Amino acid sequence: MDSIEDLLRRLEQLNDVGTSLSKERDISRLLENILVAAKTITHADGGTLYRVAEGGKALRFEILRTDSLGIAMGGTSGKPINFPDLPLATETGAPNDSLVAAYSAIHSQTVNIADAYTAENFDFSGTRRFDERTGYRSQSFLSVPMKDQDGDVIGVLQLINATRPGTQEVVAFSGADQSLAESLASQAAIAITNRKLMAQLEELFESFINLINLAIDEKSHYTGGHCQRVPALTMMLAEAVNATVTGPMAQFTMDDRDRYELKIAGLLHDCGKITTPVHVVDKGTKLQTLCDRITLVDTRFEVLKRDLEIATLRSQLASRGPGDAAADAQIWADCRAKIAALDADREFLRKANLGAEFMSDADIQRVREIGTGNTWRNVSGVESEFLNADEIENLSIRSGTLTSSERNTINYHIVATIKMLEQLPWPKHLKNVPEYAGGHHERMDGKGYPKGLTRDQMSVQARLMGIADIFEALTARDRPYKQGMKLSEAMAIMHRFKTNGHIDPDLFDVFVNEGVYLRYADQFLDPWQIDPVNPALWQ
């Protein structure tokens, strides 16, 4: 007979378990906690937790524990349960009432058996074979169905061999044991259902995020890989920082919720790019819009050359008379010289259009001279300057392919990202997503954008995402205007960014010392990009 004190203590345990179950996010640990709690409250030596398999035709082993035999399978044990599922129906389709756990699930009833060796109506042959192999004696059984809010059975909690407190004596499960186990099973079913619902909502949420990234990917295949690689590198670096036990980052820690929040921020860090015009995102040459306008410039050169040849022929005809041969030769020599000059100018503009090399002041002046020093008759028959103002502006870009206004358009994506993310009703455990995602273009010295934040004004998560974003951009193989850098080049640039106040120096040290860049390279870079990195050369 249970004492009042024992019942009160066990009820208090039940309340504590209910509280802890509501906080657990990992489904495997949740199931394990349920079984361990049930064993503790009922003083059971062993137990098994089953879940109804997909399709509802069988019970699947999830967690198995037997303390006296030292058996721990499933859950956090690292040992898989290889037992076959328990079918809920026989081959003829009849209810499989011979197995006690199946009976409990089929009829939604608790089954309390004092001694399996004397019990009738149930098949314990498998239990007896287990006992013969191990020397164990499976005696008392308590099988409790776990029912969700709709009354549907989602699993079975089966406990084995209740023991008298303070002894090893196996006894039957008492009425109090059964009531407590049923109460726990009810709480457990709700916790499992809620966790499953949360998992489904998280999966749906992440699917929407992937849908946004897919839209960006379809809009521009140059950025789609970026949207996947930056989150991956962010989490690699975050885990390395979390594992650090010495140095400036030793105090940084993450739990599972922190990891999930950072993961979501990483996936959404460039969602604002969905607002960026594709011809700017994909601008691979200076004159590219919907097409590369260098072909129009080429056409104008051909028109100039054609007009020059026509003018030469006319001059040749006008000079007919004594000394025709010498005059003709001079006329055509002048023509060839002018054509060669035009070809040289065209080749210069073609090269400048690529944006691969830095444009000096002399280069920019030559663009302007070509643009304004020549005229051509356009399709309307109007004499026009060879290059219009927009073409001169674009061809005069000192480095890269973007004008300042286009650069501002690109940079606006982070403003759009912040605006989009701040509109969402984030739950408490995701409330920092806008700050993490919106800070990856800030600098430690306050010279970044869009808010000009300094290192002290930024979270560690935003700072490490900034490192991931830059390193991915340097090594990316799918950009329209460049090929990916080798590791040695990218790491040298990252080191300069560390020393000039661009990126967090402490996080970069972890990035280097823990070999995060190498793990990323092995997974995402081409073999030719992975060359030796010598930090001594950075000094």
> What residues form DSSP beta bridges with 65?
47, 72
Residue 307 has pLDDT above 90, yes or no: no
Residue 254 contacts residue 275 (beta carbons within 8 Å) = no
| pLDDT of 323 | 57
pLDDT in tens, 247-289: 999 999 999 899 999 999 999 998 888 888 877 877 888 888 8
| Domains in the chain: boundaries | 4-198, 220-273+412-538, 294-401
**pLDDT for the residue 12:** 62
**Per-residue pLDDT tens over the stretch 487-509:** 999 999 999 999 999 999 999 99
Q: Whole-angstrom Cα distance, residue 158 to residue 141?
A: 7
Average pLDDT over residues 70-78: 89
Rounded-to-integer distance, Cα 74 and Cα 49, Å: 10
Instruction: Determine if residue 425 is left, alpha or beta; phi over 0 gives left, psi from -120 to 50 gives alpha, anything else beta.
Output: beta
User: Residues 410, 389: contact at Cβ < 8 Å?
Assistant: no
Query: What is the rounded distance in angstroms from the CA atom of residue 200 to the CA atom of residue 303?
Result: 64
Q: What's the topology of domain 4-198?
A: Beta-Lactamase (3.30.450)
Answer yes or no: are the C-beta atoms of 225 and 472 closer than 8 Å.
Answer: no
Residue pair 352/395 in contact by the 8 Å Cβ criterion: yes
Q: For 148-162, 233-247, 474-488, which range has the lowest pLDDT when averaged over its residues?
A: 474-488
* Pairwise CA distance, residues 168 & 158, whole Å: 20
pLDDT at res. 109: 94
What local confidence, expressed as pLDDT, does residue 15 receive?
59
pLDDT given at position 105: 94
pLDDT at 221 over 80: no
356-386 pLDDT per residue, tens: 788 999 999 999 999 998 888 877 778 888 9
pLDDT bucket at 23, cuts 50 / 70 / 90: low
DSSP type of residue 85: P
pLDDT of residue 102: 95
User: What pLDDT band is residue 35 in, cutting at 50, 70 and 90?
Assistant: confident
Give per-residue pLDDT as tens, 169-189.
999 998 888 988 888 888 778
Are 427 and 386 contacting, i.e. CB atoms less than 8 angstroms apart?
A: no
Q: Specify the CATH superfamily of domain 220-273+412-538.
A: Hypothetical protein af1432 (1.10.3210.10)
What's the chain's average pLDDT? 87
The pLDDT value given to residue 365: 93
- Enumerate residues 6+ apart whose C-beta is below 8 A from 271: 209, 212, 213, 216, 416, 417, 420, 421, 437
Query: pTM for this one?
Result: 0.70
- Measured CA to CA, the distance from residue 99 to residue 61 in angstroms comes to 14
| Dist. CA 434–CA 502, nearest whole Å | 21
The beta strand positions in 425-507, using DSSP E, are none
Query: Rounded CA gap, 534 and 492, in Å?
Result: 9
Region for 440 from its dihedrals, namely left if φ exceeds 0, alpha if ψ lies in -120 to 50, beta otherwise = alpha
| Nearest-angstrom CA–CA distance, 170 and 150 | 36
221-242 vs 256-268: helix crossing angle, rounded to 10: 160
- Lowest-pLDDT range of 9-23, 220-234, 279-293: 9-23
Which amino acid is located at 370 in the chain?
Answer: I
pLDDT greater than 90 at residue 518 = yes
Least confident of 149-153, 318-322, 345-349: 318-322
